[in-house]
Structure 1
Amino acid sequence: MEPVQAFDVIIIGGSNAGLSAAMALGRSLRQVLIIDSGEPCNRQTPHSHNFLTHDGSAPAEIAAIGLQQVLAYPTVQLLQGLVTTAAKHDNGFIVTTAAGGQYTAGKLLLATGMKDIMPDIPGFAACWGISVLHCPYCHGYEVRNQPTGILANGDMAFEFCKLIRHWTPQLTLFTNGPSTLGAEQTAQLTAWDIRITASPVTGIVHEKGYLQHLVQENGSTPALTALYARPALQQREVVLQLGCGLNEHGFITVNDFQETTIPGVYAAGDNTTMFRAVSIAVAAGTKAGAIINKVLIDAAD
């Protein structure tokens, strides 16, 4: 086993929020270790949008530039690895990786993102982030006015349809089984010329992640350019292990200073908010890094 190495801050997760926090901390002369497993949730997404100066860039390209800039600060290190445990230790925390390395720090920042739990529909995972989409602000412009589907049911389906119809009039709601929409909701969707189909979706036919058509249990094969869906989300194991409080939507509860319910543990990025966007993650990371540095300064006085 490697000897224990000590840092001011350990950041678990090296995507946008983690890198942004590391930059703020590196510029604050802090000894920082970023531990990253190399599996960001947007790894399949070909283009990122709504991020000034990077609109249309590949997420991997944005992250690569960010990493290069962050590692230019000599007090910041990157470790490629998977964190298996994180726990309170003396006046700080100890983190262990799958490779057996152990590292300590006074503060922890969880920039772990969220794990998407894909539905058991062949083709869904391969299209995720490419033509099966979660956010019209990220991707709606590129598929505007195109034949589009929404995979949802009940209240969420109604609100999703209300939102997406702004980008395209060619909209079909796939409830993937009996509809749980209310009578008024159904009437309103009909008035908006949104077709509702209840036959379960049994497959997605695509070309390298670009949707061609769906396959339904009743034999229908509706052609679509895009399908909006919101798979279930799951926190990473280390978040649950630390015992961080979660809100009613399953996101980490943080205060205005990005601190979790565990003193000394901070969180930023997708694991704290339903707004999954590069720009929002970057902003949260910068804020968390600056706050952690101020807390360390105050503690040293």
Structure 2
Amino acid sequence: MGKQTNFEVIIIGGSYAGLSAAMSLGRSLRSVLVIDSGLPCNRQTPHSQNFLTHDGQTPGQIIAEARGGLMKYDTIKFHNGLAISAEKTDHGFTVTTRNGETFSGQKLIFATGIKDIMPDIPGFSECWGISVIHCPYCHGYEYRNEKTAILANGAKAYHLATLVNNLTDDLTLLTNGRVEFDFPAAEKLKANGIGITEKEVMEITHEDGYVKEVVFADGSREAFTAVYAALPFEQHSALPAALGCAFTEHGYIQVDTMQKTTVEGIFACGDNAAMMRSVANAVASGNVTGAIVNKELVDERF
């Protein structure tokens, strides 16, 4: 018997959201293919927190356990590879991978995540996800009461400062240039004991990804244990745009409350479609997406 190439649902992205959607569909006896390139955005993060029953495990452990649990469902198949093109057809969609294999499905789910755009600061990318972090809910408890910096400016910096201030009394904003706060915001920061440094950041020194010092353009240095950063991002996959999916003003795939994109038959879940970036949220949105896709298939047949 030849390799199966036709499925009811194709899921592009096999991390938390994609695997969760696959489980929901596989348990509904839907034939599902998960295509995954094996490059989750949190692969450098040493521990994943704030996720019930898995708090403190490595991202790799969670993925391995989740994928292993899906192996018992003969309705779910996996393809390790990168999806490079997709087309809408009369019967659904076709997806082609880098090695030239083509698969077809009635419905398409993007669980492809996002890609952070790193600043040109030596040491930053080596620390990203380890001690240069993005989320106080994911990492804040581990760096509680430590000397902490926030590398951001404007509204993003203010938002982060309000949250991180609850976790440490030793907090400094590194605006990497002239501050972009209005007067009330600056006064509130000052009133809460949050320092502001406007000097340009030139380097982050570290040991195996753990921050030691921030080096400024004037040659001065300051020691920190953790640095929060609000980074711009781009979609990890160009395929949603190529298929005509709309995006929000912030760059996320536009979905409704049922995780449907603006293109009929295409759904999106996880970090690519939500501002709340966490493992728990990705799993939840994937579970909902799988259920909604199954309901659509039921309605089309029943």
Amino acid at match of 2:169: P
DSSP-derived class of the 1:222 partner: strand
CA drift at 1:149 = 0.2
- After TM superposition, give the deviation of residue 183 of structure 1 in Å: 2.2
Local SS of the residue matching 1:79 = strand
Alignment-derived partner of residue 51 in structure 1: 51
For residues 270-289 of structure 1, what are the structure 2 equivalents within 5 Å?
Answer: 270-289=271-290
Aligned runs of 1:67-106 on 2, under 5 Å?
A: 67-106=67-106
Q: Who is 1:299 aligned against?
A: 300
Aligned match of 1:162: 162
In the alignment, the residues of structure 2 paired with residue 31 and residue 159 of structure 1 have an alpha-carbon distance, to the nearest angstrom, of 43
Distance 2:161 2:301 in 1: 53
Q: Give the aligned residue type for 1:265.
A: I
Residues 1:115 and 2:115 are matched in the alignment: yes
Gaps of 5+ in 1: none
TM-superposed deviation, 1:184: 2.3
Aligned-partner SS, 2:222: coil
Which residue matches 2:200? 200
1:265 is matched with which residue? 266
Residue 135, structure 1, aligned to residue 135, structure 2: yes
Contact residue 143 and residue 226 of structure 1 kept, 8 A: yes
Aligned residue in 1 for 2:60? 60
SS in 2 for 1:206: strand
Q: Is contact 1:6–1:103 with CA below 8 Å preserved after alignment?
A: yes
Distance in 2 separating the partners of 1:174 and 1:9: 46
Cα separation, 1, equivalents of 2:264 and 2:95: 16
Contact 1:123/1:204 (<8 A) preserved: yes
Aligned CA RMSD, in angstroms, stands at: 1.3
| Distance in 1 of aligned mates of 2:159 and 2:279 | 23
Whether the 8 Å contact between 1:4 and 1:104 is mirrored in structure 2 is no
Deviation at 1:180, TM superposition (A): 1.3
For 1:118, what is the secondary structure of its paired residue?
Answer: coil
Structure 2 counterpart of 1:213, which letter? E
Residues 263-289 of structure 1, C-alpha deviations (whole Å, 9 max, x = no match): 000011001111111111001111111
Runs of 4+ aligned residues of structure 1 deviating over 2 Å after TM superposition are: none
Give distance in 2, aligned partners of 1:89 and 1:177.
50
Q: TM-score, normalised by structure 2?
A: 0.97
2:50, 2:193 → 1: CA distance? 29
Give the deviation of 1:3 after TM superposition: 8.6
Q: Name whichever of 59-68 and 175-184 sits farther off.
A: 175-184
Partner SS, residue 157 of structure 2: helix
- Retained in 2: the 8 A contact 1:3–1:102? no
Cα distance in structure 1, aligned partners of 2:88 and 2:22: 21
Name 1:242's counterpart in structure 2.
Answer: 243
| Cα distance in structure 2, aligned partners of 1:26 and 1:154 | 45
User: Using the alignment, how far apart are the partners of 1:215 and 1:240 within structure 2?
Assistant: 39
Given residue 271 of structure 2, which amino acid in structure 1 is its aligned partner? D
**What are structure 2's unaligned runs of at least 5 residues?**
none
Quote how far apart the aligned CAs of 1:4 are.
8.4
The alpha carbon displacement at 1:130 in A equals 0.4
Q: Does 1:22 align with 2:13?
A: no
**Amino acid across the alignment from 1:154:** G
Q: Which amino acid aligns with 1:299?
A: E
* Displacement after TM superposition at 1:252 (Å): 1.0
Give the SS at the match of 2:221: coil
- Give the share of equivalent positions with the same residue, in percent: 52
- Shift, 1:187, TM fit: 2.1
Rounded Cα–Cα distance in structure 2 between residues aligned with 1:293 and 1:183: 52
8 Å contact kept, 2:157–2:230: no
User: Which residue does the alignment assign to 2:254?
Assistant: 253
Query: What is the distance in 2 between the residues matched to 1:220 and 1:82?
Result: 44
Q: 2-side partners of 1:182 and 1:234: how far apart? A: 28
- 3-state SS of 2:61 partner: helix
Matched residue type, 2:260 = E
